[in-house]
Amino acid sequence: MKRPPATAGLHHVALRAKDAKATATFYMKILGMRLEWQPDEQNYYLTSGSDNLAIHQGDIPQTAQRLDHIGFIIDRFEDVDTWHKFLLFKGVEITQAPRTHRDGARSFYFKDPDETVVQMIFHPPLSREKRTK
């Protein structure tokens, strides 16, 4: 099977936080990021214009890594499914099948060899293809 087009780079990080609101406030007030989307009180999506930082409320066991997942931006909506099929073909463990989000993004999740969760995401504000919901 032929490899899909190259990704548009690594521009998305998601963190677990004991207090999502306080953590989001820190990144906004201290680092100057702005709120891009807040679907609820436990999830904040911030940006500085060319990136996306997701902050998710959750318990953080002392032995757990704070990093929830890393995300690769996909330029075209349809290529999310192409990557999904390619990774299945390669035997990669998929942890969540492709789905379209309320904000028009489309993504799926898989694990790397060290079990780091990775997201392939078409995210309209960052992807080269401009598409509305």
Map out the domains of the chain as residue ranges.
Answer: 10-122
Contacts of 52 (CB under 8 A, 6+ apart): 11, 12, 13, 36, 45, 46, 71, 123, 125, 126
133, pLDDT greater than 60 = no
CATH of domain 10-122: 3.10.180.10
Give buried/exposed letters for 87-119 (b at 16+ CB in 10 A, else e): beeeebeeeeebeeeeeebbbbbbeeeeeebbb
Instruction: Give 73-98 pLDDT, tens digit per residue.
Output: 899 999 999 999 999 999 999 999 99
Q: How many residues does the chain have?
A: 133
Cα distance between residue 89 and residue 5, in whole Å: 16
Q: State the pLDDT at residue 125.
A: 85
Q: State the pLDDT at residue 132.
A: 60
Instruction: Give 17-57 pLDDT, tens digit per residue.
Output: 889 999 999 899 988 899 999 999 999 999 988 899 999 99
Q: State the pLDDT at residue 39.
A: 94
Cα distance between residue 132 and residue 108, in whole Å: 19
